A and B are shown apart, each in its own frame.
Chain A
Amino acid sequence: MNEALWALGRGTGVVSLALFTVSVLLGILNRSGRPLFTLPRFSVALVHRNVALLATAFLAIHLVTLFGDSYAQLRLVDFVVPFLGAAKPFWLGLGTLAVDLMLAIVITALLRGVVGVRVFKAVHWLTYLMWPVALLHSIGNGTDVGQTWFIAFAATCSIAVVAALVWRLSRGFIEYQNVRVERAS
């Protein structure tokens, strides 16, 4: 049973990071105002949201299955307050920090109509902090970090997000940017 929980705990962590990566990519695409091939813009927005919620569900399993694990030595306080862990407190603390950020991001996103567009946007920007923190947690705390598949996985996620960021910062990122800027001048 312990072995099963340990495997599930590690596996759900990796799946969660993969899903968060997909959600970040879709979020950046969504911000550009472009469809994804034949997938319309509103569908991109919905898939972005649902993939993030799925990642959150996997993250919940990740926390629950590793709670009480003899290696991770998690206590309840480690779910909320970072850097107090018994084993690898810094790397575990990054995971806790990512969980806290994720809660803030998910709650303000689901209550977007209540908190207003400014609060939503300000908190949603924290994703750019949350994602690298979660990645660092997986590299620093993950016990599969020496495995080839994990290195390939982490590298793929990193390259994809960095590429999306470069695109995000490039001219012409917004669908109608060129025509808007051109006509305005």
Chain B
Amino acid sequence: MNLRTPEARGPAAALLHIDWTRCDGRGLCTEILPELLARDDWGYPLAYGYGSAGAGSNVPVPDTLLAAAADAVSLCPRQALTLVDP
């Protein structure tokens, strides 16, 4: 399933908020959500389709990836992730 553009993802069931003051680029979320997140050159998560425009702090999560996103939230070693309403 290619969800690497905002159009392909369809409507967002939630937003995955990344708190950049906490994020340390450990890479767990990018493993759990490879459809949504890549790692930048320094190891930090980078949302597909949003570039460096700054919108990558609130990543739209489609319904099909909601469970995986919840796993990413609970497993983030820095507790940098939260799911918020779109």
Render A44-56 as a binary contact track against B, CB cut-off 8 A, 1 for contact: 0110000000000
B22 CB → nearest A CB, Å:
7
User: Of residues 45 to 69 in B, which have CB atoms within 8 Å of A's CB atoms?
Assistant: none
A26 CB → nearest B CB, Å:
13
How far is it, in angstroms, between the C-alpha of A30 and the C-alpha of B75 when the chains are bound?
A: 12
A184 CB → nearest B CB, Å:
9
Is B42 a contact partner of A179 (Cβ separation < 8 A)?
yes
- Interface contacts (Cβ under 8 Å), in number, total 41
Asked if A132 is at the interface (CB within 8 A of a chain B CB), the reply is no
User: Of residues 153 to 185 in A, which have CB atoms within 8 Å of B's CB atoms?
Assistant: 175-176, 179-180, 183
Interface size on B, residues (CB 8 A): 17
Is A41 a contact partner of B26 (Cβ separation < 8 A)?
yes
Asked if B5 is at the interface (CB within 8 A of a chain A CB), the reply is no
| Cross-interface CB contact of B28 among A31, A45, A117, A183, cutoff 8 Å | A45
Asked if B27 is at the interface (CB within 8 A of a chain A CB), the reply is yes
Render A102-130 as a binary contact track against B, CB cut-off 8 A, 1 for contact: 00000000001100110000000000000
13 contacts between A and B (CB under 8 A): A33-B43, A41-B27, A42-B28, A42-B31, A42-B71, A113-B74, A113-B79, A116-B79, A117-B78, A175-B27, A175-B43, A176-B25, A183-B42
The 9 closest A-B pairs by CB, nearest first: A176-B43, A33-B26, A42-B28, A117-B79, A40-B31, A41-B28, A42-B75, A180-B42, A41-B27
**Which residues of A pack against B, CB within 8 Å?**
30-31, 33, 40-42, 45-46, 112-113, 116-117, 175-176, 179-180, 183
